[in-house]
Amino acid sequence: MADPMTGMLELSDLRDDIDTVIVAGIDMYGRLFGKRMPVRSFQRILGEGLHVCTCVYAWDVDQDMDTLKVEFAGAHTGWQDFRLVPDLTTLRRAAWLEGTAICLADSVDENTGEPLPVAPRTILRRQVQALGDKGLTAYTATELEFHLYRGTPDELRANGYRNLEPTTLIRSDYAIGAGNAMEPFFREVRKALEASGIPVEVAQAEYGLGQWEINLEYSDAVETADRHVLFKSAVADLARAHGMTATFMPRPLSDGMGSSCHIHASLRGADGSTPFYDAEADRTASTPLRNAVGGVLDRVGDLMLFYAPTVNSMRRIISNDFAGNGLTWGFDNRTTTCRLITGGPDANRLEMRLPGADVNPYLASAAVLGSMRDGMARQIDPGPPCTGDGYAEQHGELPITLGDAAEKLEQSLFAATTFDKEVVSHYATVARHEWLQFLRSVSDWDRDRYLETI
């Protein structure tokens, strides 16, 4: 019998107040997809899994499968199926939905039963395993910010997403009063998350108008990514139920604050050791920790697409919205790309501040862990830490368009050997498609700037 206080379930718990189970995979954009079924149907499909069309890994963010062409699937393959095999270690209540449990699933080949290489959960699992082969376990946490607007998604869409009304009208970073005003909603969110096995660390109002942040407790890397995607789903669903819209766009307004997804990462040895801590080192940052930072910074340009997967991602990164600046790092320095938090064996970690709230947590975490492992293997020295304003100097080392990020990923030998050529080609093709869709689109900005003046 599972502990009802944690929200995690065993098969024997699927009775009484639970009548529906959602089986969900993770798509390329970090979104849930899958099917709902009665409990008896869920128990029947546990061994084989669910058959799902490969279109979910072959269409773009808008589900256009006519113009996006990838080798993995399409008309040339007959739009074949793959299988979603439930991972029972993830079975939990979806406490924000009535009478519902949710079980995340791994995507496997229909014929061989092998994990699909392009599936985000597969990509992260392989980086976790690569560290495990060296006797190391990766622990991560993702800090997600989001904007909350009044009006449901349907209402905002009908209005062309114009004249958005934020849930705070003045800057309210850390402000308890602003939090009190929205507490009936956020108390429900926290309670639903806790009851769903998604433990909350802290919550607060943020600097941007209508901007909020909820931090979850850290866990092993796959569990953290699982909690991340469930968190986003719960917040979006509850916001809609309360007549509001939650968006995880990194920069929803030109003159507003960007929303981040800072990724914290640490390692622990099989014997319980903490390789990122050295009591004799400067500020306790061990050589492996510094090498890990060196690896993250050395490979960030190659892996930019995993940290900034949309056109909108770059609008935050090229701002001064605490998104880092080039290949910079420092101790407790929020103006750098990689911030070190040190002070104790269990606390020492690096914080990758580049990603925005739109990241796929499996891909971004895989990028951090793969780069850390590479940095430690090559013993990369990150150079001296930044001790002042990381934005004081201009750094041009990183791609600033989605097209450039796609090219860097596809040309990277490191990415090909670390994540597999098929994975690199697939995600680069998807990003290049998205970039071309953007370039072909004439926007309000174009008309406002050029219609009369050119």
Q: 289-298 pLDDT, tens per residue?
A: 999 999 999 9
Q: Give the pLDDT confidence score for residue 324 in this predicted structure.
A: 85
Do the beta carbons of residue 84 and residue 49 sit within 8 Å? Answer: yes
Three-state SS across 13-35?
HCCCCCCEEEEEEECCCCCEEEE
Give me the percent of the chain exceeding a pLDDT of 70.
Answer: 99
Instruction: Taking residues 360-375, report their average pLDDT.
Output: 98
Band of residue 3 on the pLDDT scale cut at 50, 70, 90: low
Mean pLDDT for 365-370 is 98
| CA dihedral over 4, 10, 14, 15, signed as positive or negative | negative
pLDDT at 4 over 70: no
Report how many helices (DSSP H) and strands (DSSP E) the chain contains, helices first.
Answer: 14, 16
Whether pTM > 0.95 for this model: the answer is yes
Contacts of 184-187 with CB under 8 Å at 24 or more apart are: 185/238, 185/239, 185/242, 185/244, 186/212, 186/214
How confident is the model at residue 322, as a pLDDT? 84
More confident residue, 197 or 6: 197
DSSP 308-363: --SHHHHHHHTTTSSS--SS-EEET-TTSSEEEE-SSTTT-EEEE---BTT--HHH
Do residues 147 and 236 lie in contact, with contact meaning Cβ atoms separated by under 8 Å? Answer: no
| Phi then psi dihedrals of residue 149, to 5 deg | -115, 150
Per-residue model confidence as pLDDT tens digits over 214-252: 999 999 999 999 999 999 999 999 999 999 999 999 999
Residue 116 contacts residue 107 (beta carbons within 8 Å): yes
Q: What is the pLDDT of residues 93-112, one digit of tens each?
A: 999 999 999 999 999 999 99
Instruction: In whole angstroms, give the CA distance from residue 430 to residue 239.
Output: 30
pLDDT of residue 65 exceeding 90: no
Q: Is residue 85 pLDDT above 80, yes or no?
A: yes
pLDDT at 5 over 70: no
At residue 397, the pLDDT reads 83
Please check the confidence at residue 392 and state whether its pLDDT lies above 90.
no
d(CA 310, CA 431): 8
Q: What percent of the chain has pLDDT over 90?
A: 92
Cα angle, residue 362 at apex, residues 360 and 367 outer, rounded to 5°: 95
Whole-number pLDDT of residue 394: 72
Q: Residue 72 has what pLDDT?
A: 96
- Residue pair 365/263 in contact (Cβ under 8 Å)? The answer is yes
Place 134 in a pLDDT band, splitting at 50, 70 and 90: very high
Amino acid letter, 416: A
User: Tens digit of pLDDT for each residue in 137-170?
Assistant: 999 999 999 999 999 999 999 999 999 999 999 9
pLDDT of residue 2: 55
Q: Report residue 1's pLDDT band, with 50, 70 and 90 as the boundaries.
A: low
Whether 395 shows a pLDDT value over 90: the answer reads no
Mean pLDDT of the 391-417 span: 92
Mean pLDDT across the stretch 429-447? 96
Residue 36, pLDDT above cutoff 80: yes
pLDDT digits (tens, 9 = 90+) for 158-201: 999 999 999 999 999 999 999 999 999 999 999 999 999 999 99
Whose tokens are 């502990």? That residue is 3
CA–CA distance, 257 with 253 (Å, rounded to integer): 8
pLDDT tier at 266 (50, 70, 90 boundaries)? very high
Give the pLDDT of residue 126: 98
**Lowest-confidence range among 52-56, 81-85, 320-324?**
320-324
Residue scoring higher pLDDT (2 or 193): 193
